[in-house]
A and B are shown apart, each in its own frame.
Chain A
Amino acid sequence: MITFFSGGTGTPKLLRGMLELLEEREIAVIVNTAEDIWLSGNHLSPDIDTVMYLFAGLLDTDRWWGIRGDTYITHDLLARLGIEEFITMGDRDRAVNIARGEMLRGGMRLTEATRLICERLGIRATVLPMTDSEVTTYVQTERGEVHFQEYWVKHRGALAIDGVVRRSQEPPAATPEVIEAIETSDAVVIGPSNPITSISPILECAGTREALRRHRCVIAVSPFIGDAPVSGPAAALMRAAGREPSSAGTYALYEDFVDLFIQDTRDPVEIEGALRLDTLMVYRGKSLDLAKSIITLIYGY
């Protein structure tokens, strides 16, 4: 089994390639939940949904979120009634949010709710939230702290930010399922997701980083080429977190546990011992190539 650490972009593109090469049961994904938010009475978990929809064959891969062919009847009428949902919520997508919201309101753990939804969607891979407690990423702006989803989706990243903070009632801890997935995997792959808002929240869950340090084969893929991320707001967030927005800054975050660091062949930043591969997964074939290379690295053939 291979365990992946994933946010909502970058890593799912790598998973798309992995899905063609591995048996689905041999894939576990530990997913960032620090962007979760209660919206319109229900529980939105953007990164979990993207990963689930990918495995279920439902993902809208033009946007890399939401369900392909979804309708927006409730969302559109809400707007006319003066309620602006800042996320364009499809009707089917909303059903998933409602189902999860009801389960959580009923006292179920997020891990268990995710397992039930995956089962019903016919997903054989293991999709694990990074923790069962609520933890939220906020960016600090002139107007105060803003939920990351609001910053990235509502304001399209167009706010000046000078800090990134995580807020929670209690310090989040990795679930037993997360630790078990790491320990029983042949390799752990930190995908090319945003190091600050996608991967760091996972690493901050008590127990996760220690489990990675104990593991013999942890591979990380840099999401940067030069000082620009392949996609998303990673550069501004790295700077706001006091990190260099580059592969070097990414490596510094992973240094204590990573066994193999992969950067793009075009990346001008030099990291000693790093492996160079084409990490720009602009289409299916590229995802497949990168996945193939990583599997070869893990299993040696």
Chain B
Amino acid sequence: MITFLSAGPGTLALIRGARQILHDRDIAVVASTAGNTRVSGGHVAPDIDAAIFLFAGILDTGRWWGIRGDTHATHNYLPRAAGGEPFPIGDRARAVQIARADLLRRGMSLTEAVQAQCRAQSIVATILPATDARFGVLIDTGTEHLPLFEYLAGAADDTEVREIMPAAPETLTDAVRAVIEASDAVVIGPDNPARGILSILDCAGMRDLLLDRFVIAVSPFGGGAALDPKDAALMHAAGEKPTSPGVFRIYRDVIDVFVQDIHDPDEVEGSLRLDTRLLHDRQAESLAWDIMTVIRSAVS
């Protein structure tokens, strides 16, 4: 089994590619809970939902969150009722959020609720929240404290990020521990560490657990794509530059192989150079293939 630490579009694209090579039952996804928040009475968990929707075949892969072709009757009507939401929630996605809030109200842990939701959608892969934290990190913008996903999906590009305020200290869940212990390798996909992976690594016990595994991480920077201002702001707030060396410094103690793009001008010593661009699914499949080859040769 291969476990993906997932927090953003890069990893989701890579998982989509990996599904062409691996059977779903051999894939586990540990999704970040840093973006979790409550909106309109529902429980929003963007990284968890994105993984569920991906495996259910309904993910909107244009923006890598929400459901493809979803309608927005409630969201569009809210302003007429003197209401409003920080980002557009589709009617079907809302049902998933309401259902999870309902399961949590009935006393389920987040892990149990997500497992129940995966069963309801007949998902064969293992999808687990990184922690049982219902609420994720907050972004201190200087004027307010925005939930991370509200910042990512709703705030202006030039919004200041003074500090990433962590959720209450979290420990690893038994389910995550079990799935990582049963994995041949752990893959950290090409996403900005500050938008979720860092929160996963900060769970008490997580870095120790990864030390015993083969871990391969892909840098999200340096592939030639223009740097997203929010990605830059988040990395700076995390105390690093938005570059491959910056990402490497965050991961170095837990990873065995660091992958950076063939075009990346910033040199990280000992890194593996691959084409990491994920502009279409062929590229994702190709990168997944390369990563599986590395894993196979390392752990066999």
CA distance A70 to B91 in the complex (A): 13
Shortest beta-carbon distance from A129 to chain B in Å: 15
Closest chain-B Cβ to A57's Cβ sits at a distance in Å of 13
Q: Say yes or no: is A143 at the interface (Cβ < 8 Å to chain B).
A: no
Contact of A81 among B74, B78, B80, B120 (CB under 8 A): B120
**CB atoms of A98 and B83 under 8 A apart:** yes
CB <8 Å contact, A73 and B71: yes
Output the nearest chain A residue to B120 by Cβ-Cβ distance.
A81
Distance in angstroms between the alpha carbons of A82 and B99 in the assembled complex:
8
Whether A41 pairs with B101 at a CB distance below 8 angstroms is yes
For A92, the chain B residues whose CB sits under 8 A away are: 73-74, 77
B81 at the interface (CB under 8 A from A): yes
Which residues of A sit under 8 angstroms from B41, Cβ to Cβ? 40-42, 98, 101-102
CA distance A154 to B183 in the complex (A): 47
Shortest beta-carbon contacts, A-B, top 4: A41-B41, A99-B83, A91-B73, A77-B95
B168 interface residue per 8 A CB criterion: no
Contacts of B74 in A (CB 8 A): 74, 91-92, 94-95, 98
Interchain CA distance A102-B39 in the complex, whole Å: 9
- The one of B82, B92, B120 in contact with A99, judged by C-beta atoms closer than 8 angstroms, is B82
B96 contacts A by Cβ under 8 Å: yes
Q: Mark B56-88, 1 if CB is under 8 A from A, else 0.
A: 000000000000000101110111111110000
Asked if A96 meets B81 with Cβ closer than 8 Å, knowing A73-B92, A74-B92, the reply is yes
A94: nearest residue on chain B (CB-CB)? B74
CB pair B98–A40 under 8 Å, yes or no, is yes
B81 with A102: CB separation less than 8 A? no
Binds B, one of A8-16, A116-124, A209-217: A116-124
Query: How long is the Cα–Cα vector from A24 to B13 in the complex, in angstroms?
Result: 56
Option from A74, A82, A102, A121 in Cβ contact (under 8 Å) with B91: A74
- List, sorted by A's number, 25 A–B pairs whose CB atoms are closer than 8 Å: A40-B101, A41-B40, A73-B71, A73-B92, A78-B99, A81-B99, A82-B99, A83-B98, A83-B102, A91-B73, A91-B74, A92-B74, A95-B74, A95-B81, A95-B83, A96-B81, A98-B41, A98-B74, A98-B78, A99-B84, A102-B41, A102-B83, A120-B80, A120-B81, A121-B80
Please report the C-alpha to C-alpha distance between residue A73 and residue B120 in the assembled complex, in whole angstroms. 18
* Smallest Cβ-Cβ distance to A71: which chain B residue: B73
Roughly how many angstroms separate A162 CA and B43 CA in the complex, as a whole number?
39
Given A83-B98, A98-B41: A120 in contact with B77 (beta carbons within 8 A): no
Residue in contact with A73 in the complex, picked from B73, B84, B98, CB distance below 8 Å? B73
Most buried by B among A42, A73, A98: A98
Q: Find out whether the CB atom of B82 lies under 8 angstroms from the CB atom of A117.
A: yes
Q: Contact at B82–A119, with CB atoms within 8 Å?
A: yes
Task: Assess whether A81 is in contact with B73, with CB atoms less than 8 Å apart.
Answer: no
Q: Which of A74, A102, A121 contacts B98 (CB 8 A)?
A: A74
12 further A-B contacts with Cβ under 8 Å, apart from A71-B91, A95-B81, A96-B81, are A41-B98, A70-B73, A73-B92, A74-B91, A77-B95, A78-B95, A82-B99, A83-B99, A95-B78, A99-B83, A103-B83, A121-B81
A73 contacts B99, C-beta separation under 8 Å: no
Task: Given A82-B120, A91-B77, A92-B77, answer yes or no on A40-B102 (Cβ-Cβ < 8 Å).
Answer: yes
How many B residues touch the partner, as a band? Answer: 20 to 34
List of A residues within 8 angstroms of B16 by Cβ: none
Shortest distance between the CB of B36 and any CB in chain A (Å)? 15
Per the bound structure, the CA–CA distance linking A135 and B91 in Å amounts to: 31
CB-nearest residue of chain B to A121: B80
A99 contact set on B, CB distance < 8 A: 78, 81-84
Measured in the bound complex, the distance between the Cα atoms of B102 and A102 in whole Å is: 17
Contact A42 B117 (CB under 8 A): no
Of the candidates A81, A98, A119, the one whose C-beta lies within 8 Å of that of B117 is A81
Whether a CB of chain A sits under 8 angstroms from the CB of B277 is: no
**A120-B83 Cα distance, complex, nearest whole Å:** 10
Q: Which chain A residues lie closer than 8 Å to B99 at the CB level?
A: 78, 81-83
The distance in angstroms between the C-alpha atoms of A117 and B78, with both chains bound, is: 10
- The contact string, 1 if C-beta is below 8 Å from chain B, for chain A 56-96, is 00000000000000110111011001110000000110111
Residues on B with C-beta less than 8 A from A94 are 74, 94
Chain A residues, CB < 8 A from B83: 95-96, 98-100, 102-103
Name the A residues within 8 Å of B77 (CB-CB): 91-92, 95-96
Roughly how many angstroms separate A95 CA and B74 CA in the complex, as a whole number? 5
List residues 115-129 of chain B with CB under 8 A from any CB of chain A: 117, 120
A74:B117 contact, CB within 8 angstroms? no
B79 to chain A: which residues have CB within 8 Å? 120
Closest chain B residue to A96, Cβ basis: B81
Measured CB to CB, the nearest residue on chain A to B80 is A120
Query: How many angstroms between the C-alpha atoms of A119 and B95 in the bound complex?
Result: 28
A98 contacts across to B, CB distance below 8 A = 40-41, 74, 78, 81, 83
CB distance from A218 to the nearest CB of B (A): 33
| Complexed CA–CA distance, A91 and B81 (Å) | 12
Contacts of B92 in A (CB 8 A): 73-74, 77
Q: Give every chain A residue within 8 A of B95 (Cβ-Cβ).
A: 73-75, 77-78, 81, 83
